[in-house]
Amino acid sequence: MNGKFRIALYQPDIAGNTGTILRMAACLGVAVDLIEPAGFDISDRALTRAGMDYLEMATLTRHVDFDRFEQWRRSESRRLVLMSTKAALPYTDFRFHTGDIIMVGRESAGVPDHVHDLAFERLVIPMPGGGRSLNVALSAAMVAGEALRQIG
């Protein structure tokens, strides 16, 4: 299995968040899977502005829908690790493996139940301050940092 791990974006709504995640992933050497449809034009100026010149460095694979992504993921025998506010297991208590796919959901709605059901594990970022959720790009960065720490 190649690559440390991957980050999957489930039908992202906000170009700026996607651009930020692509920039972070390019800097860390992590591939990104974008599951369409996105809530914006992939060539959107906000995506380019947030990703800056790092977009050219990013390893991005676009999947036309979740079913195609899932077919590919299964063919690669990769675990799907879902970040969710509905999860109970803190991301710092999970053991990441090389080849895992860390998925974040739509900013507006997360992921549907059938995607939750397919996940190997569902992880949460604990929020002792009482907030409901963090920005999706910030969440992806926190979890990517922990996965990199574990995997090396």
Q: Convert the pLDDT of each residue in 100-124 to its tens digit.
A: 999 999 999 999 999 999 999 999 9
How many independent structural domains does the chain possess?
A: 1
How far is 137 from 103, CA to CA, in rounded Å?
A: 11
Provide the residue type at 151 as one letter: I
CA distance 21 to 32: 8
Helix axes 136-151, 15-28, angle to 10 degrees: 20
Say which CATH number the domain at 21 has.
Answer: 3.40.1280.10
In whole angstroms, what is the distance from residue 144 CA to residue 30 CA? Answer: 9
DSSP output for the chain: --SSEEEEEES---HHHHHHHHHHHHHHT-EEEEESPPSS-TT-HHHHHHHGGGGGT--EEEESSHHHHHHHHHHTTPPEEEE-TT--EEGGGS---TTEEEEE-BTTTB--HHHHHH-SEEEE---TT--S---HHHHHHHHHHHHHHHH-
For the question of whether the overall pTM of this predicted structure is more than 0.85, the answer is yes
Tell me which residue range forms the domain holding 52.
Answer: 5-151
| pLDDT value, residue 132 | 85
Per-residue CA distances from 10 to 78, 84, 128, 149, 151 (Å): 16, 12, 26, 24, 24
pLDDT tens string 3-45? 689 999 999 999 889 989 999 999 999 999 999 999 888 776 6
* pLDDT range class, residue 50, cuts 50, 70, 90: low
The two structure tokens encoding residue 94 = 């999970």
